[in-house]
Amino acid sequence: MTSLPLAAPLNTSTPADSYQARFEQRWGHLTRPHVRALAWLLDAPDLLDPVSPHWHGRIATLGAVSPETADWLAALEQDPIPLDAALGSRHYSRLGLYAEKLMAFYFAEHGKLVAHGLQVRASRNDTVGEFDFLLRDGDDLVHLEFATKFYLLDASEAGADFNGLIGPNLADTLGAKMRKIFDKQLSLASHPAAQPLLPQPVARAQALVKGWLFYPGGEGAAPMAGISQPHCKGFWITLQQAAALQGERYAIMPRLHWLAPLKMPLESTAMSRDELLAALHEHMTQVAAPVMVAELEQRGEWLVERCRGFVVPDDWRAQAAQRRQDGALPA
């Protein structure tokens, strides 16, 4: 990707029908972060298109949120004690585990949960794998693998195998993640060590994948087979390119706030553009790791997310290329 000239505004403009705008229109009455995160998990477009022949029927979908579930979420906003109790007092360092706990609460509350995080061991010291969820669907037992993923498109490496969609910390790609899920995790029920743990044979094994994709400079990308067209999306830019940001209010998003669009009380401390740039430069000097930022706009007594994106070190793409050359990322 050619670096954007610093004087040029980035294409972070957000249409009126952006996902953030639609989420606020439907779920603006939800203000508690845990409840909003759960609403996002249930309502967000699937990251992968479940009807695409690319996935051979192995992608699950939750479908539209029912009026009954919407009322249930509204009740949690008024009384979050059951949800808070399910999450417990622990600090979640892993976003994926936090999202799993939210989904486990939803499945349990709706009478679907058979097991969550059920480990399969061939012997005391040999763990074969783990069922994310075993669920009841009518008379069937369903194995559901669940993932919440955030990938940046490296346009020079885009391809049908999805290895051009890279995790911000350069640890994996969408292609590698889905190969692991399909080749190993979804076949777990057929392992001999799993049989004694199952109340009945698994009728189907599928993956449910939620997340956001981020595009260089805020530019869109040509549709990719297998990716849901209405997926949640944002931008990614380098630290140098961040000087061209045009918004007035920003927030740096902690990892556990990456799921739902951000919503903060008006009296919360938001950053000006200059404050954001100073914080980003300080962060990159100390850590040199990607940062998720949200541009905010005022809606009544709240600041709500208008758009979001990653700011990455200036050599992020060079690091990705080096990791491919070293074999740490799929080529």
Sequence-distant (≥ 6) Cβ neighbours of residue 322 within 8 angstroms: none
Q: Is 260 within 8 Å of 210 (Cβ atoms)?
A: no
- Banded model confidence at residue 122, pLDDT cuts 50, 70, 90: confident
Strands, E, within 199-284: which ranges? 202-216, 232-238, 250-252, 263-265
Say what the pLDDT of residue 145 is: 97
Residue 82, helix vs strand vs coil = helix
Mean pLDDT of the region 225-229: 91
The count of other CB atoms within 10 Å of the CB of residue 176 is 18
Give the CA-trace dihedral at 91, 94, 98, 99, to 10 degrees.
170
Q: Is 261 within 8 Å of 20 (Cβ atoms)?
A: yes
- Averaged confidence pLDDT in the chain: 91
In tens, the pLDDT along 4-62 reads 333 334 555 555 678 999 999 999 999 999 999 999 999 999 999 999 998 999 999 99
Q: Is 120 within 8 Å of 129 (Cβ atoms)?
A: yes
Say what the pLDDT of residue 117 is: 95
In tens, the pLDDT along 135-149 reads 999 999 999 999 999
Residue 320, helix vs strand vs coil = helix
The identity of residue 256, as a single letter, is: L
Say what the pLDDT of residue 3 is: 37
For the entire predicted model, the pTM comes to: 0.92
- Banded model confidence at residue 89, pLDDT cuts 50, 70, 90: confident
In tens, the pLDDT along 197-223 reads 999 999 999 999 999 999 998 776 677
The length of the chain is: 331
CA distance 207 to 178: 9
Say what the pLDDT of residue 124 is: 79
Closest CA to 35 of 102, 111, 108, 98: 102
Which whole-number Å values give the CA distances from 24 to 5, 64, 67, 97, 110, in the listed order? 33, 17, 17, 25, 25
Strands, E, within 94-224: which ranges? 113-123, 126-137, 140-153, 165-166, 202-216
CA distance 246 to 46: 30
Q: Which residues pair with 209 in a beta bridge?
A: 147
Say what the pLDDT of residue 8 is: 36
CA distance 8 to 89: 46
Say what the pLDDT of residue 259 is: 98
Percent of the chain at pLDDT exceeding 90 = 81
